[in-house]
Amino acid sequence: MGLLGKHIVVGIGGGIAAFKAVVLVRELMRRGASVRVAMTRSATKFIGPATLTGLTGTPPVVDLWDPRYPGEVHVELGQLADAVVIAPATANLIARAAVGMADDAVLATLACARCPVIFAPAMHERMWLAAATQRNITQLIADGALIVGPVKGLLASGQQGQGRMAEPDAIANALEAALDARASETASTTATRHDLSGKTVLISAGPTVEDIDPVRFISNRSSGRMGFALCSAARLRGAHVVLVCGPTFAPPPSDIETIHVRSAREMHQAVKAARGRCDVAIMTAAVADYRPLHTANAKLKKQHDRMTIELVKNPDILAELGAERRDGRPVLIGFAMETHDLVAYAHKKLIAKKCDLIVANEAAVGFGRDDTQATLVGPDGDVALPPMTKVELANLILDRASTLLSLQARQTPTDGQTTSSRSPRRRRPLAPPPPRRPKGRSRSRA
């Protein structure tokens, strides 16, 4: 799905990170989006409007009274936008947005928008941690906004701290995830389905991180997008969703019960705690198979040409779920990502982990993309799917889960009933057998 053909409004605030907004606009356009820009007057002190005009082909909106724009330009932009990104979002801009002010081009456009809104804060760490800023951020989140960053790093002051604007690529990824979630919410194929109403669906997503020392770790390139697509689709179908999420750049869907974890062992504990209340478990997370035996307390120094790190196995979360379920509960779905012999490995995993279904895909079309191509591997055969979005794949997976839940319901006896759909046949009481005659004697005549 991605950003192809989407109309994105980028609102630029007056901070030193405004130069990164140029890179963000370029990245959004590279991904296929049509971009319009609104700027605060303070933003023009850091970056010239001519730069944005050259990039997008349209002058940025700075002055709401600019005679070049007929009518109410902020209304036009708000109606046009599939999403609005405020980057950088300064402390002042965040505060004014939190109370609903609309006294410049950025905030007036924001007030007219009815679409996903992302704020990418950028400021000094002291400003970010200030009680007022945190209170304003809480209000924006309550209003439905997504917050991406800030991240730790070198600040404009030369100090290190949490206040750097997130990188343009991370913001673009978060935007794509938000639009995918919105697409799943408005998809006509799922809007009327409530086949998971009353059910609890447990989903793991993202990578895990295994620390080597305070600055280095072992991980993988999982983005969490497949898990997030499943969360949004399951919620729309009436399920209560429990998401166990490793560290991801994109934020998980809102209004989901989310448990944030870092390592494989933390994910193992979170899944164990939640499994007893779930009807369906879908393990999409790319869990590290191994972790360092020892984690250094201080940064390891470069000393020799070679360094050996001893690794030990992590808990196998999927295998444990399969071994401990009873009567086919919960419905268990795993994922297999391979570089070769995809279906063969998926079949082995299906049996070894005692799953109901394995979703198998090639590593080349799995990580960090909006589209995917998978094969559904089950005990009743394989289904090779055409290329599709992760939202579409999510609904196909949930179709299978819903079918398995229905089969379980039909096979489970209730009090006073048998497992058969037919009523048991009544037997007639047996008549007592006639008395046996002694052998060798003839009947007497009357």
Give the integer Cα–Cα distance in Å for 251 and 253.
7
What are 270's two structure tokens?
């979170």
Q: Which letter, b or e, does each residue of 236-266 get, where b requires 16 or more Cβ atoms within 10 Å of its Cβ?
A: bbebbbbbbbbbbbbbbbeebebbebbbbbb
The packing angle between helices 18-30 and 168-186, to 10°, is 50
Give the integer Cα–Cα distance in Å for 411 and 193.
23
Give the integer Cα–Cα distance in Å for 35 and 87.
13
Could you tell me if 264 and 288 are in contact, meaning their C-beta atoms sit under 8 angstroms apart? yes
Residue 431, C-beta contacts closer than 8 angstroms, at least 6 positions apart: none
Residue 218, C-beta contacts closer than 8 angstroms, at least 6 positions apart: 209, 210, 212, 288, 290, 291, 292
Query: Residue 281 phi/psi, 5° resolution?
Result: -125, 120
Is 197 in a helix, a strand, or coil?
Answer: coil
In sequence order, which ranges of 49-150 are alpha helices (DSSP H)? 49-56, 73-80, 91-98, 105-112, 125-129, 131-142
* DSSP summary character for residue 193: -
Q: Is the dihedral of CA 178, 179, 183, 186 positive or negative?
A: positive
Residue 220 annotated among the catalytic residues of the structure: yes
Residue 51, C-beta contacts closer than 8 angstroms, at least 6 positions apart: 22
Could you tell me if 93 and 13 are in contact, meaning their C-beta atoms sit under 8 angstroms apart? yes
Could you tell me if 223 and 249 are in contact, meaning their C-beta atoms sit under 8 angstroms apart? yes
Closest CA to 355 of 384, 316, 393, 394: 316
Q: Kind of pairing, strands 83-89 and 7-12?
A: parallel
State the CB neighbour count (10 A cutoff) for residue 374.
28
Q: Of 136, 220, 297, 361, which one is the catalytic site residue? A: 220
- The DSSP secondary structure of 335-361, one letter per residue, reads EEEESS-HHHHHHHHHHHTT-SEEEEE
State the catalytic residues: 220
